[in-house]
Structure 1
């Protein structure tokens, strides 16, 4: 896309607010973007996560005027940025692009439903393992730059609860945590405790984005 540019996105940067229109659409290359329920008291939590496999703004590109969630960078890195009017014009001109974005929007909605249920039914340890595995998959690195405060926002719990759960993982030798860095040492260990939502997320993406494309 000639109208796009590669931009650096800092951790905690807010790319969109719930109820407001997006100015740009983002295609992450090595960053992580979390979709959060509107940040009002007492807490919010993550209902969607985007990495190199996805985009922020699929609904906007298809004509929806306002964002449904807050979009916050939870893993610093780079993304391709394109102004929304340009992408809308490209989408209107290409049936294939429209179809691809519709599929991704379906996957995104499926993920949101799964994560909302996950927040209600599964333990903090299961949800923390899911977040860490999803983040490693999407960032393609084992060293995650994230604080306990950011994790408490994403998981919708008190910071002290995150500290206890992360401490238990560190005692098991699954992660190593220091100064805003969380290094995943054992995927196998995290897979022992993670809830079914993690595998469901992977399976749905393969079916919708890869299986459907191959079937055309």
Structure 2
């Protein structure tokens, strides 16, 4: 396993010595949409490092209702609690947008961390960054209008997909944001009215990234800057998909 072939930014941030502790046990894995990474109160078997795609950490109510608490992709790893020795989580983790990546057994991960005092450092930093993201999700939900929350969510997807075309339905956006589908449609029309996106059936096309950042008005950006401050390891450049013709 060569680190140069990997896009996951946590794995790329490791020293060569620390990476070699994990490399023999990293298994390549396809992660289709809705791929289950962890289920509530179920024994964890693997730690995942996505190279592509988008995943969600979702809070789950006893009646089965769910809402997204945090988003992850090639910048991180899940479940984060494995790094502190936990083997169960109270939430659901699954892929939203199909991707691929690597996984390692929880036991192998734990053995590797025992062999190096530095291996855990980037993982603990990511736990902090992810907590900051979750806190800003709570802030956005409490203090920002739906269209600004949607702008933030689209920007976060754009960061991870690294393409201007997001293939995701209105129904799934509503599910993840915990809002009604008509509210998603209305919010998308607001963003289209500002010429920030185009929205088709099952597709959101970003046409003005900088404008989206301005429109999000402070509910996007700080967690992303915190990641770069603490874990700013570079990932391979990925070509941005061209915009389809009108």
* TM-score past 0.5 threshold: yes
Q: Matched residues in 1 for 2:46 and 2:176: separation?
A: 23
Q: Matched residues in 1 for 2:172 and 2:110: separation?
A: 33
What 5-or-longer segments of structure 1 have no aligned partner?
212-216
Q: In structure 2, what is the equivalent of residue 214 of structure 1?
A: none
The offset of 1:172, in angstroms, is 3.0
Count of aligned pairs between the two proteins? 211
Task: Give RMSD over aligned pairs.
Answer: 1.9
Instruction: Map Cα deviations across residues 59-97 of structure 1 (whole Å, 9 max, x no partner).
Output: 213301212421121111111122211111112212111
Q: Matched residues in 2 for 1:160 and 1:179: separation?
A: 14
Matched, 1:197 2:211: no
Matched, 1:132 2:142: no
1:48 equivalent among 42, 66, 70: 70
The offset of 1:39, in angstroms, is 4.8
Q: Which entry has the higher C-alpha Rg, 1 or 2?
A: 2
Moved over 6 A (4+): none
1:173 equivalent among 195, 198, 202: 195
Q: Matched residues in 2 for 1:68 and 1:43: separation?
A: 14
| Contact 2:213–2:220 (CA under 8 A) maintained in structure 1 | no
Matched, 1:71 2:71: no
After TM superposition, the structure 1 stretch with the greater mean CA deviation from structure 2, 27-36 or 197-206, is 197-206
Describe the SS at the equivalent of 1:163.
helix
Instruction: Map Cα deviations across residues 32-75 of structure 1 (whole Å, 9 max, x no partner).
Output: 11111115558432221111111112221330121242112111
Q: Matched residues in 1 for 2:219 and 2:117: separation?
A: 32
The offset of 1:187, in angstroms, is 0.7
Instruction: Map Cα deviations across residues 150-172 of structure 1 (whole Å, 9 max, x no partner).
Output: 11111110111111111222233
What 5-or-longer segments of structure 2 have no aligned partner?
1-22, 234-246
Q: Matched residues in 2 for 1:186 and 1:100: separation?
A: 33
- List aligned pairs for 1:1-216, cutoff 5 A: 1-41=23-63, 43-210=65-232
Instruction: Map Cα deviations across residues 88-123 of structure 1 (whole Å, 9 max, x no partner).
Output: 111221211111211111111121122112211111
Describe the SS at the equivalent of 2:220.
helix
